[in-house]
Amino acid sequence: MANQFRNYGAFAVSAAWMLLIALCKITAGSTTETESLLRWKQSLPDQSILQSWVTPATNNPSTTQRPCGWRGITCDTADNVIEINLAYTGLKGTFKNLDFSSFPNPLRLDLKYNQLKGSIPENIGMLSKLRYLDLSTNSLNGTLPLSLANFTQVLELDVSRNNVTGELDPRLFPDGTGQSKTGLISIKNFLSQNTKIGGRIPNEIGNMRSLVLLAIDFNSFHGPIPPAIVNCSQLSVLRISQNQLSVPQGIGNLSTLTTLHLAENKFTGQLPPQVCRRGKLVNFSAAYNSFTGPIPVSLRNCQSLYRVRLEYNQLTGYIDQDFGVYPNLTYMDLSYNKLQGQLSPNWSQSKELSFLSVGGNMIVGRIPHEILQMKKLGKLDLSSNQLSGEISIEIGNLSSMSILRLNDNKLSGKIPAGIGLLSNLQSLDISMNMLSGPIPYQLGDLSKLLSLNLSQNFINGTIPDQIGNLFALQSLLDLSYNSLSGEIPTQLGKLTNLISLNLSHNYLSGSIPSSLSHMLSLSSINLSYNLLEGPLLEDNIFNSSQLEADFSNNKGLCGKIQGLQPCKTSITAPGGKDKKPKPVIIIVASLGSAFLGSLMLVGIFAFLLERKARFILKEQEPTTNRDPFSVRYFNGKILYEDILEATKNFDDMYFIGEGASGKVYKAEMPAPWFLLGMHVFLVYDFMERGSLADMLRNDKEALELDWPKRVEIVQGVARALSYLHHDCVPPILHRDISSKNVLMSADLEAHVSDFGIARFLKLDGSNWTTFAGTYGYSAPELAYTMVVTEKCDVYSFGILVLEVLMGKHPGDLISKIQILAVESINVKDVLDPRLPPPVYEKTVHELQLVMKLVVSCLQASPQSRPTMRSLYQLLEADIFRVSTMASMVLQETNDHEKGAWYYSHEGPPRSDIPHRGNYRHPQHGK
């Protein structure tokens, strides 16, 4: 202040006068800042976030025209702007109209996580006092301006996650004299991750003597790491993964590092031997390169290690000699190198280890039993080595184990029953060993198992019935190339989530249990090279063209499947196949002469399951060891008669929804069948076209589903779900909405099917569950709470609709949609490329509306999702003609009772609900 007064020669005047002069000076100085900011604001396409950036008309400009109270603007005590912070505000636009020369004082400019476009302007260098510049996560392009060299006081510069191109100009850095007046002299943190900068890393980078963190991963740098980098004597974090760098020698003996990421480059030669000379290295990754030579010697006693990834190189050495004990190590991946020696029991002393992978090396000897005591080990991969000996029964002590891979070794002896104790196991692969003896029935206790591979061993005996208890099993059950005998257990049919089943090359005999037709998720089944015989029932899934099936080389299987002999006596449904049967009759009375009939039955069975005992009574069957899932066992005729009675011979009054869905009946069944009062189930017409998933997958059939048709499908599914949720008492949750469970009739009408896991919704909201449903469709909250609400169906519906638009499962797009603002998603970018783009205005509008519905369905918070009824009403309400639809969004009223939604012209409530601790979206799985 004193300086300013001196400038004005104000020493002699009174205190009051001094104050006034001071005010004038400040006002004059900051007016330019104000004007510049306002001019920039005017140039931005969306100014709503800058509402506070105004100069209200007032008589006292001296107090109002400073930008100091505006959003994101911070001033010093003299009201000079020292900070502009508009990070995470959704700011759009360019820097074109921002005159940086009006801001002589800023120390901090933080605009990260916005949607800024265009280039970083040259005049940014006018902010010559800047300490902190963060432009990361925008859409900036062009090259880094040379004027950045003006930032001699900058401590941190981050331009990560932009489309910035070009090379790192050596002039950005100080010269090597130590007397440099320009360049990034003071910088500690330099970040340009995930940009498009390339060329060589200039040697001058070594002149940033204060550098602590250099993060230039995910770029296109090539050539060597410059040797001068050793002059960055404070360097602690070096992240240069995912470039095209080839010569590592520049790292030399840089031993100050705590983090060194070299992964996914083109490095050859040796790893720096002294990388942990000073015992500071914590996080080290050199994976996916072509490093040769030994494991760096300094790693052996590198107690600080926390995470090490050296997989997929050609490193040599001895795994029992080159590594020590690491108190903090949690993650060690040495897989696919050329390591020799035995597995040392010392690994068990690294007590924090949760991930140990040494697969694909040349390790010999036994698995030390000490390793089987590691309580925190969640993944152990010893595959593709030459381990021998037996698997100890102590394996059951690995209580955290979720992925266990011992495949492709020389392990012998029996599979220890203790494996059944690994209650967290999700994937077990012990294939390609020399294991013998039976499959222990305890394997059936692995209730979280998603994949089981025991193939290519010498396992004999029968397949234990308990395999059917592996309800979670999804990706694979492979018992092939063993010596299994006996019949295929009917319980296998309970694995309704299983995608791939391989029992080939065994000695299995008897007939194929018809219960396998309940395995609706199967897309591949191989029963070849066994001793199976008898007919393949025609009502089973094996007829689906989508199923990759191999039944060849058995003893006497027959059926109408390619490669099989036709059966001598045809098992045709009563009523014959030739004349077009009456809808429901064929499904129920003949137990389905088509596989879709069995779909419906699955639905009914699931409803019956809890009342199994009574069901058996009614059947007057003395033996109780029959499988209630078995189609053969089920007396469809009785059910059919009951349905006839319940629907009064399919009287029109039992139709659900007139016209479009006219073939869906609602039947209310009396006791004793449904002893707990009234229940509801749906009986469907025969669906000639198979599932929606099938149609979308087939390029030709997908073309039949033009845009108007697809909108109709969305409407059809919404109608069905709205009915289940809101018109049934008690309401029914479907719980497995996916394109596999939407069936298409001959006239391409959509029908919701498979109530295999449907649940009646108790109105007190206490619907606890274990995971069921189809991965990729299930709502994110199921990952952290087991409470199912109808909003889980709404979420799955959103995914399904997106799939209808895109022609394939949306995958990663889901998480993007959850992050992005509604208006930033252009429906045209997601439409199925196999179809010509929609031409009619009406269709475009409809698709836009559908897309908006998708966004609302995929809200992370269940409460923010609309109800099925409101979605259905929106779709039906002929709103497509509303021309103002573009700005329309949905908002939920507080009145949950009515589930009413209405149109609003304001934005939706922001969906940035804080993520809970263990929140995990299904698409973000490991």
Ligand X SMILES: *[C@@H]1O[C@H](CO)[C@@H](O)[C@H](O)[C@H]1NC(C)=O
Which spans of this chain sit near ligand X (rule: CB under 6 A)? Answer: 117-118, 125-126, 128, 139, 141-142, 147, 150, 163, 176, 206, 227-228, 230-231, 252-253, 274, 303-304, 327-328, 436, 460-461
- CA gap 592, 566 in Å, rounded: 19
| Cβ atoms 216, 243 nearer than 8 A | yes
543 CB-near residues (< 8 Å, 6+ apart): 560, 561, 594, 595
Q: Does 642 qualify as catalytic in the annotation? A: no
Listed residue (140, 173, 40) closest to 100, CA to CA:
40
| Cβ atoms 794, 857 nearer than 8 A | yes
- CA gap 284, 692 in Å, rounded: 47
Taking the complex as a whole, the smallest distance from the CB of residue 230 to ligand X amounts, in Å, to 5
And the tokens for 450? 């998603």
And the tokens for 28? 């004059």
Q: Which is nearer to ligand X, 117 or 697 (CB)?
A: 117
And the tokens for 474? 């999804």
Taking the complex as a whole, the smallest distance from the CB of residue 142 to ligand X amounts, in Å, to 5
Taking the complex as a whole, the smallest distance from the CB of residue 461 to ligand X amounts, in Å, to 4
Taking the complex as a whole, the smallest distance from the CB of residue 129 to ligand X amounts, in Å, to 8
Helices (H), 44-142: 61-64
* C-beta nearest to ligand X: residue: 125
Q: What is the DSSP string of 430-441?
A: --SSEEEEPPPG
Taking the complex as a whole, the smallest distance from the CB of residue 828 to ligand X amounts, in Å, to 15
| Cβ atoms 871, 722 nearer than 8 A | yes
| Cβ atoms 437, 391 nearer than 8 A | no
- CA gap 835, 706 in Å, rounded: 7
Taking the complex as a whole, the smallest distance from the CB of residue 569 to ligand X amounts, in Å, to 34
Identify the H or E element spanning 759: strand 759-760
Angle at 435 between CA 433 and CA 439, to 5 degrees: 125
Taking the complex as a whole, the smallest distance from the CB of residue 714 to ligand X amounts, in Å, to 28
Q: Which is nearer to ligand X, 327 or 670 (CB)?
A: 327
Taking the complex as a whole, the smallest distance from the CB of residue 443 to ligand X amounts, in Å, to 17
Taking the complex as a whole, the smallest distance from the CB of residue 177 to ligand X amounts, in Å, to 7
And the tokens for 208? 């940033």
Cα torsion for 789, 794, 799, 802, to the nearest 10°?
-170
- Measured over the CA atoms of residue 357, residue 360, residue 362 and residue 368, the dihedral's sign is positive
Among residues 134, 539, 694, 736, which one is catalytic?
A: 736
Three-state secondary structure call for residue 127:
coil
- CA gap 481, 528 in Å, rounded: 11
- CA gap 415, 482 in Å, rounded: 13
Listed residue (381, 370, 421) closest to 403, CA to CA:
381
Taking the complex as a whole, the smallest distance from the CB of residue 91 to ligand X amounts, in Å, to 14
Identify the H or E element spanning 220: strand 220-224
How many residues are recorded in the chain?
A: 926
Q: Measure Cα distances from 486 to 11, 483, 490, 506, 512 in Å.
A: 108, 10, 12, 10, 12
Q: Which is nearer to ligand X, 414 or 626 (CB)?
A: 414
Count CB-CB contacts under 10 A for residue 839: 9
Tell me whether strands 665-668 and 680-683 are parallel, antiparallel or unpaired.
antiparallel
Phi, psi of 306, deg, nearest 5? -120, -40
Q: Measure Cα distances from 747 to 200, 683, 688, 813 in Å.
A: 61, 18, 9, 31
Q: Which is nearer to ligand X, 120 or 667 (CB)?
A: 120
Q: Which is nearer to ligand X, 350 or 427 (CB)?
A: 350
Taking the complex as a whole, the smallest distance from the CB of residue 218 to ligand X amounts, in Å, to 13
- CA gap 539, 601 in Å, rounded: 11
Taking the complex as a whole, the smallest distance from the CB of residue 265 to ligand X amounts, in Å, to 18
Three-state secondary structure call for residue 287:
coil
Listed residue (153, 213, 214) closest to 184, CA to CA:
153
Task: Determine if residue 748 is left, alpha or beta; phi over 0 gives left, psi from -120 to 50 gives alpha, anything else beta.
Answer: left
Taking the complex as a whole, the smallest distance from the CB of residue 578 to ligand X amounts, in Å, to 48
Cα 279 to chain center, whole Å? 37
Terminal C-alpha separation, the chain: 58
* Per-position b or e across 722-740, b if 16+ CB within 10 A of its CB: bbbbbebeebbbbbbbbbb
Cα 764 to chain center, whole Å? 31
Q: Which is nearer to ligand X, 214 or 549 (CB)?
A: 214
Three-state secondary structure call for residue 850:
helix
Is the link from the previous residue into 730 a cis peptide, with omega within 30 of 0? yes
Q: Which is nearer to ligand X, 426 or 506 (CB)?
A: 506
Q: Which positions are annotated as active-site residues?
A: 736
